[in-house]
Structure 1
């Protein structure tokens, strides 16, 4: 009996240690940088004052300067367009692939694994691949389009302001499709097959079953995928760094890369912090919207 009590006590003690270790990790590597960044957004911080801690408090001056910056609204528009189109197409194509791989056909598991390759690759590697595909002089995309007679001359996808943002959107859609496919495949697998069989016996076709069964039962999963897609897309940085660096003339710049430019190119760290705080507010708003919507559905 004593040995059993001691083993239970040791187990509880280990659980407490693990819990406190997890909390310490979150406090050190998540909470502290977050609050430190928020504090810097209300101060004047540059490359000289970041080490000396001589940082005058300026209130909302950094935020008003960001809003007054002539590049703010075009970049905010680019961010909204980038996030909206990317998430929409990732979900549509990911849902289509999830429906495809929900069918039983030879080689489906291997093909699903191949689609995951694009998601597990590092962002800079993905950027290098798409840099090769979209290159104006020797890119694969231009070669294919010329061979098909779609274009007569090369299109400089990454250096032309008319195409630069669309080029990153295409690359980002390619990156995010496998993630959406996996999450939506889990949701599809949770739908009982008996419902489909009963609807088929009643004469419902494939499209009818999709509208009346699949979509309503996938609503919660779709809401989760939309929320995660918006959060992850708003954090996308590697593709911008690898492909266009926000150019030309901010035509492909977005808020997250603009924040990095302020902090590590012009060394206006306080302005970069203010932009990142605005992004945090947007991400929290998306997460809160998803949480409230799922809670209301559970209550109903």
Structure 2
């Protein structure tokens, strides 16, 4: 112990101190709550025993009851739709914007910075904005659709079981597109321009250059963007709380919002912890994929 303290004080072990302090912070504020949540998923927990660590151990009963719940599979389907459609929309629009700004026209850097405004805004603020946009009576989206003749009457996006989930998907795509654009712009900037010039001299058109140069050279960046998008989308809670509250009739309910409802509305803390544990496993898989993609990028 004295040797460790002396190495820190004389500067030789300062790197150990820099690493150990963040690790202790993560252990105290992330690791312990995570372990506590996982432990709750294997216990019988009520509002009276919530503050105790020693509670009846019931094994996998919480998981069995959760899988047997009638709303489990519809909510899991909603979660999958929300994640897949959000990531696909964010990535497609982000890549299109990244390619557009990569042309380097005058003012492109300023406009690219403006797109980041949506990313830095709190989710509840974004949800409030989209509440106005998606309003069934005086929303901007209904006005644009009816003015263009695409719909004949207003759609109540937030309260219609057929559209409520897609309302949150639209808001989440708008929220995450700029982040995808910035990451993909960094990947585009790392591609040597002489490759495009050589392929253009060989007679390759824009689609051929995109498929043979852009996509292969950005494979690791694309993997990182999709992995991060999966992590952020599975953590999205604010938009559901602000726009639909999981309704109507669970039509827009997803796993992350359902976990909150089970714990803080129904006071079924064990089931809420069980849903959260399943999400933790999914996020950890996405994190592993992200680390693998970035490691591949470093090797290149």
Quick one: distance in 2 between partners of 1:12 and 1:22? 19
Quick one: distance in 2 between partners of 1:196 and 1:278? 45
User: 1:207 aligned to 2:207?
Assistant: yes
Quick one: distance in 2 between partners of 1:268 and 1:223? 37
Q: 1:284 corresponds to which residue?
A: 284
**Which stretches of structure 1, 4 residues or more, deviate above 6 A after TM superposition?**
293-300
Q: 2:160 corresponds to which residue?
A: 160
Q: 2:3 corresponds to which residue?
A: none
Quick one: distance in 2 between partners of 1:290 and 1:186? 16
Quick one: distance in 2 between partners of 1:160 and 1:88? 23
Quick one: distance in 2 between partners of 1:54 and 1:33? 16
Gaps of 5+ in 1: 1-5
Q: 1:202 to 1:25 in 2, by over 3 A?
A: same
Q: 1:294 to 1:129 in 2, by over 3 A?
A: closer
Q: 1:12 corresponds to which residue?
A: 12
Structure 1 segment 58-137 matched on structure 2, within 5 A: 58-137=58-137
Q: 1:299 to 1:25 in 2, by over 3 A?
A: closer
> Structure 1 stretch 220-229 or stretch 156-165: which is displaced more?
220-229
Quick one: distance in 1 between partners of 2:205 and 2:150? 37
Q: 1:39 corresponds to which residue?
A: 39
Q: 2:222 corresponds to which residue?
A: 222
Secondary structure at the aligned position of 1:49 is classed as coil
Q: 1:296 to 1:183 in 2, by over 3 A?
A: closer
TM-score (norm 1): 0.92
Q: Residues 228 and 290 of structure 2 are in contact (CA less than 8 Å); yes or no, is this contact kept in structure 1?
A: no
Secondary structure at the aligned position of 2:51 is classed as helix
Q: 1:149 to 1:296 in 2, by over 3 A?
A: closer
Quick one: distance in 2 between partners of 1:91 and 1:223? 11
Secondary structure at the aligned position of 2:236 is classed as coil
| 1:100 Cα deviation after fit | 0.6
Gaps of 5+ in 2: 1-5
| 1:204 Cα deviation after fit | 1.3
Question: What do residues 172-222 of structure 1 show as CA deviations (whole Å, max 9, x unaligned)?
Answer: 011110111011111100111111111111111211111110011111111
Secondary structure at the aligned position of 1:51 is classed as coil
Q: 1:294 to 1:11 in 2, by over 3 A?
A: closer
